[in-house]
Protein backbone atom coordinates (compact mmCIF):
# COMPACT_ATOMS: atom_id res chain seq x y z
CA UNK A 1 0.00 0.00 0.00
CA UNK A 2 1.41 3.39 -0.90
CA UNK A 3 1.47 6.28 1.56
CA UNK A 4 -1.29 8.25 -0.18
CA UNK A 5 -3.75 5.37 0.14
CA UNK A 6 -2.78 4.87 3.78
CA UNK A 7 -3.40 8.58 4.40
CA UNK A 8 -6.87 8.34 2.83
CA UNK A 9 -7.76 5.38 5.05
CA UNK A 10 -6.48 7.18 8.14
CA UNK A 11 -8.65 10.16 7.25
CA UNK A 12 -11.64 7.87 6.61
CA UNK A 13 -11.37 6.52 10.16
CA UNK A 14 -10.67 9.95 11.60
CA UNK A 15 -13.90 11.26 10.10
CA UNK A 16 -15.79 8.18 11.31
CA UNK A 17 -14.67 8.40 14.93
CA UNK A 18 -15.27 12.15 15.00
CA UNK A 19 -18.72 11.98 13.46
CA UNK A 20 -19.87 8.78 15.21
CA UNK A 21 -17.77 8.98 18.37
CA UNK A 22 -20.79 9.51 20.62
CA UNK A 23 -22.90 6.72 19.13
CA UNK A 24 -19.87 4.40 19.06
CA UNK A 25 -19.16 5.16 22.72
CA UNK A 26 -22.76 4.29 23.59
CA UNK A 27 -22.12 0.74 22.37
CA UNK A 28 -18.90 0.34 24.40
CA UNK A 29 -19.89 0.36 28.06
CA UNK A 30 -18.68 -3.06 29.08
CA UNK A 31 -15.35 -4.84 29.18
CA UNK A 32 -14.95 -7.77 26.82
CA UNK A 33 -14.35 -11.22 28.39
CA UNK A 34 -10.90 -11.38 26.79
CA UNK A 35 -9.92 -8.08 28.40
CA UNK A 36 -11.16 -9.33 31.77
CA UNK A 37 -8.94 -12.38 31.36
CA UNK A 38 -5.98 -10.09 30.75
CA UNK A 39 -6.79 -7.97 33.81
CA UNK A 40 -6.81 -11.05 36.03
CA UNK A 41 -3.06 -11.34 35.42
CA UNK A 42 -2.33 -7.89 36.89
CA UNK A 43 -0.94 -7.42 40.38
CA UNK A 44 -2.28 -3.88 40.68
CA UNK A 45 0.79 -1.66 40.66
CA UNK A 46 1.71 -1.88 36.96
CA UNK A 47 2.22 1.27 34.91
CA UNK A 48 -0.22 1.02 32.00
CA UNK A 49 -0.21 2.79 28.64
CA UNK A 50 -3.56 2.17 26.97
CA UNK A 51 -3.32 2.80 23.21
CA UNK A 52 -6.69 3.56 21.65
CA UNK A 53 -8.32 3.96 25.05
CA UNK A 54 -11.66 5.00 23.54
CA UNK A 55 -14.21 6.09 26.13
CA UNK A 56 -12.12 4.97 29.11
CA UNK A 57 -13.88 1.73 30.01
CA UNK A 58 -10.58 -0.02 30.73
CA UNK A 59 -9.61 2.73 33.15
CA UNK A 60 -12.98 2.46 34.91
CA UNK A 61 -12.51 -1.28 35.30
CA UNK A 62 -9.02 -0.76 36.69
CA UNK A 63 -10.41 1.78 39.16
CA UNK A 64 -13.05 -0.71 40.35
CA UNK A 65 -10.28 -3.27 40.87
CA UNK A 66 -8.31 -0.82 42.99
CA UNK A 67 -5.41 -0.47 40.59
CA UNK A 68 -2.61 1.60 42.12
CA UNK A 69 -0.17 2.08 39.24
CA UNK A 70 -0.09 5.04 36.82
CA UNK A 71 -2.40 4.90 33.82
CA UNK A 72 -2.28 6.90 30.59
CA UNK A 73 -4.95 6.45 27.95
CA UNK A 74 -4.46 7.89 24.46
CA UNK A 75 -6.83 8.19 21.52
CA UNK A 76 -7.32 10.57 18.60
CA UNK A 77 -11.13 10.83 18.96
CA UNK A 78 -12.14 13.85 21.03
CA UNK A 79 -15.75 12.62 21.49
CA UNK A 80 -14.44 9.37 22.99
CA UNK A 81 -11.87 11.18 25.14
CA UNK A 82 -14.58 13.45 26.52
CA UNK A 83 -16.41 10.36 27.76
CA UNK A 84 -13.16 8.91 29.10
CA UNK A 85 -12.61 11.86 31.43
CA UNK A 86 -15.51 10.69 33.59
CA UNK A 87 -13.66 8.41 36.03
CA UNK A 88 -14.24 7.34 39.65
CA UNK A 89 -12.67 9.59 42.28
CA UNK A 90 -9.39 8.43 43.70
CA UNK A 91 -8.08 6.77 40.54
CA UNK A 92 -5.15 8.53 38.92
CA UNK A 93 -6.00 8.25 35.22
CA UNK A 94 -4.63 10.62 32.59
CA UNK A 95 -5.91 10.95 29.02
CA UNK A 96 -4.24 12.53 26.02
CA UNK A 97 -5.18 13.06 22.38
CA UNK A 98 -2.63 11.19 20.28
CA UNK A 99 -2.76 10.00 16.67
CA UNK A 100 -1.23 6.51 16.83
CA UNK A 101 -0.05 6.81 13.24
CA UNK A 102 2.18 9.61 14.60
CA UNK A 103 3.22 7.71 17.70
CA UNK A 104 6.91 8.41 17.18
CA UNK A 105 6.44 12.18 17.07
CA UNK A 106 8.00 14.06 20.01
CA UNK A 107 4.61 15.63 20.75
CA UNK A 108 3.26 12.23 21.82
CA UNK A 109 5.18 12.41 25.14
CA UNK A 110 4.31 8.90 26.24
CA UNK A 111 7.44 7.92 28.14
CA UNK A 112 7.58 7.37 31.89
CA UNK A 113 10.54 6.79 34.20
CA UNK A 114 11.56 3.17 33.75
CA UNK A 115 9.17 2.75 30.79
CA UNK A 116 5.71 1.18 30.86
CA UNK A 117 5.28 -2.26 32.40
CA UNK A 118 2.14 -2.92 30.37
CA UNK A 119 1.07 -1.47 27.03
CA UNK A 120 -2.36 -2.42 25.72
CA UNK A 121 -3.94 -2.02 22.31
CA UNK A 122 -7.39 -3.58 22.35
CA UNK A 123 -9.10 -3.53 18.93
CA UNK A 124 -6.69 -0.84 17.76
CA UNK A 125 -4.01 -2.20 15.42
CA UNK A 126 -6.79 -3.35 13.09
CA UNK A 127 -7.43 0.30 12.20
CA UNK A 128 -3.82 1.07 11.20
CA UNK A 129 -3.40 0.85 7.40
CA UNK A 130 -0.26 -0.50 5.72
CA UNK A 131 2.39 -2.92 6.95
CA UNK A 132 4.87 -0.05 7.17
CA UNK A 133 2.82 1.96 9.66
CA UNK A 134 2.12 -1.13 11.76
CA UNK A 135 5.85 -1.86 11.86
CA UNK A 136 6.61 1.70 12.92
CA UNK A 137 4.04 1.58 15.72
CA UNK A 138 5.24 -1.81 16.96
CA UNK A 139 8.84 -0.56 17.04
CA UNK A 140 7.77 2.46 19.09
CA UNK A 141 5.85 0.24 21.48
CA UNK A 142 8.99 -1.88 21.92
CA UNK A 143 10.90 1.30 22.74
CA UNK A 144 8.32 2.46 25.30
CA UNK A 145 8.01 -0.93 27.02
CA UNK A 146 10.05 -1.95 30.04
CA UNK A 147 12.42 -4.86 29.42
CA UNK A 148 10.30 -7.13 31.61
CA UNK A 149 7.06 -5.60 30.36
CA UNK A 150 4.27 -6.98 28.22
CA UNK A 151 2.43 -5.69 25.18
CA UNK A 152 -1.13 -7.03 25.10
CA UNK A 153 -3.28 -6.61 22.01
CA UNK A 154 -6.52 -7.81 20.52
CA UNK A 155 -7.88 -7.69 17.00
CA UNK A 156 -11.42 -8.06 15.72
CA UNK A 157 -12.20 -11.39 14.03
CA UNK A 158 -15.28 -10.18 12.18
CA UNK A 159 -14.94 -12.84 9.49
CA UNK A 160 -16.02 -15.39 12.11
CA UNK A 161 -19.51 -13.85 12.13
CA UNK A 162 -21.97 -14.05 9.22
CA UNK A 163 -23.76 -11.02 10.62
CA UNK A 164 -20.58 -8.96 10.63
CA UNK A 165 -19.46 -10.20 7.22
CA UNK A 166 -22.70 -8.78 5.84
CA UNK A 167 -21.40 -5.33 6.79
CA UNK A 168 -18.44 -5.52 4.41
CA UNK A 169 -18.78 -2.90 1.68
CA UNK A 170 -17.09 -2.56 -1.73
CA UNK A 171 -14.08 -0.25 -1.76
CA UNK A 172 -15.78 1.88 -4.40
CA UNK A 173 -18.10 3.12 -1.62
CA UNK A 174 -15.09 5.07 -0.30
CA UNK A 175 -13.81 6.01 -3.77
CA UNK A 176 -10.89 3.58 -3.36
CA UNK A 177 -9.90 0.80 -5.73
CA UNK A 178 -9.43 -2.72 -4.35
CA UNK A 179 -6.07 -2.79 -6.10
CA UNK A 180 -4.87 0.05 -3.84
CA UNK A 181 -5.34 -1.82 -0.55
CA UNK A 182 -3.62 -4.85 0.95
CA UNK A 183 -4.76 -8.41 1.51
CA UNK A 184 -6.84 -8.53 4.67
CA UNK A 185 -8.09 -4.94 4.33
CA UNK A 186 -11.84 -4.37 4.52
CA UNK A 187 -14.37 -1.55 4.47
CA UNK A 188 -17.20 -1.99 6.98
CA UNK A 189 -20.34 0.04 7.37
CA UNK A 190 -21.86 1.57 10.52
CA UNK A 191 -25.61 1.87 11.09
CA UNK A 192 -26.13 3.56 14.46
CA UNK A 193 -26.85 7.29 14.56
CA UNK A 194 -26.43 7.49 10.78
CA UNK A 195 -24.53 5.61 8.11
CA UNK A 196 -20.76 5.58 8.05
CA UNK A 197 -17.73 3.66 6.80
CA UNK A 198 -14.52 2.61 8.50
CA UNK A 199 -11.35 0.78 7.56
CA UNK A 200 -10.49 -2.49 9.32
CA UNK A 201 -7.65 -4.96 8.76
CA UNK A 202 -8.33 -8.62 9.54
CA UNK A 203 -5.33 -10.22 11.26
CA UNK A 204 -4.52 -13.89 11.49
CA UNK A 205 -2.16 -15.44 14.02
CA UNK A 206 0.69 -15.84 11.53
CA UNK A 207 0.62 -12.20 10.43
CA UNK A 208 0.81 -11.03 14.03
CA UNK A 209 3.60 -13.51 14.69
CA UNK A 210 5.61 -12.05 11.81
CA UNK A 211 5.00 -8.50 13.03
CA UNK A 212 6.15 -9.42 16.53
CA UNK A 213 9.31 -11.09 15.26
CA UNK A 214 10.14 -8.15 12.97
CA UNK A 215 10.02 -5.75 15.91
CA UNK A 216 11.98 -7.81 18.46
CA UNK A 217 9.02 -9.29 20.29
CA UNK A 218 8.13 -12.86 21.18
CA UNK A 219 4.51 -14.02 21.27
CA UNK A 220 4.08 -15.76 24.62
CA UNK A 221 0.31 -16.29 24.59
CA UNK A 222 -2.49 -16.43 22.03
CA UNK A 223 -6.17 -16.97 22.74
CA UNK A 224 -9.61 -16.23 21.30
CA UNK A 225 -12.50 -14.70 23.20
CA UNK A 226 -15.57 -12.43 22.94
CA UNK A 227 -18.85 -12.65 21.11
CA UNK A 228 -21.50 -15.32 21.16
CA UNK A 229 -19.11 -17.94 19.81
CA UNK A 230 -16.16 -16.82 21.89
CA UNK A 231 -14.09 -16.19 18.76
CA UNK A 232 -14.62 -12.54 17.76
CA UNK A 233 -11.39 -11.36 19.36
CA UNK A 234 -7.86 -12.63 18.72
CA UNK A 235 -5.69 -11.80 21.74
CA UNK A 236 -1.93 -12.02 22.02
CA UNK A 237 0.63 -11.23 24.70
CA UNK A 238 4.06 -10.11 23.47
CA UNK A 239 7.28 -9.86 25.45
CA UNK A 240 10.59 -8.31 24.36
CA UNK A 241 12.85 -10.90 22.75
CA UNK A 242 15.84 -11.92 24.84
* CATH number of 193's domain: 3.40.50.150
Domain count along the chain: 1
- 23 pLDDT above the threshold of 80: no
Better-predicted residue by pLDDT, 146 or 90: 146
- 161 pLDDT above the threshold of 90: yes
Which residues, at least 6 apart from 183, have a Cβ–Cβ distance to it below 8 Å?
none
Better-predicted residue by pLDDT, 89 or 117: 117
- The pLDDT, as a whole number, for residue 85 is 78
Question: Which region among 59-63, 148-152, 208-212 has the lowest average model confidence (pLDDT)?
Answer: 59-63
DSSP state at residue 78? H
Helix 205-214, helix 131-144: angle, nearest 10: 60
Name the residue range of residue 151's domain. Answer: 3-240
On average, the pLDDT of the chain sits at: 89
Prediction pTM value: 0.90
Question: Which region among 28-37, 142-151, 155-164, 216-225 has the lowest average model confidence (pLDDT)?
Answer: 28-37
Question: Rounded CA gap, 85 and 91, in Å?
Answer: 11
Report CA 226 to chain centroid distance, whole Å.
Answer: 15
Burial code (b: 16+ CB inside 10 Å, e: under 16) for 2-20 equals eeebbebbbebbeebbebb
Better-predicted residue by pLDDT, 75 or 27: 75
Q: What is the average pLDDT across 177-196?
A: 90
- 113 pLDDT above the threshold of 60: no
* 3-state SS assignment for residue 161: coil
Amino acid sequence: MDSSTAARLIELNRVFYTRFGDSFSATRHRIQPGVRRVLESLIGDESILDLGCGNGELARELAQRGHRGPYLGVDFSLPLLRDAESQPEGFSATFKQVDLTQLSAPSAQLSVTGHWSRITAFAVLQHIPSAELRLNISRKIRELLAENGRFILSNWQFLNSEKLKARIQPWEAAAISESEVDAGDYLLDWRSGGEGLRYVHHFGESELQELAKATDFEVVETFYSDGEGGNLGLYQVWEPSV
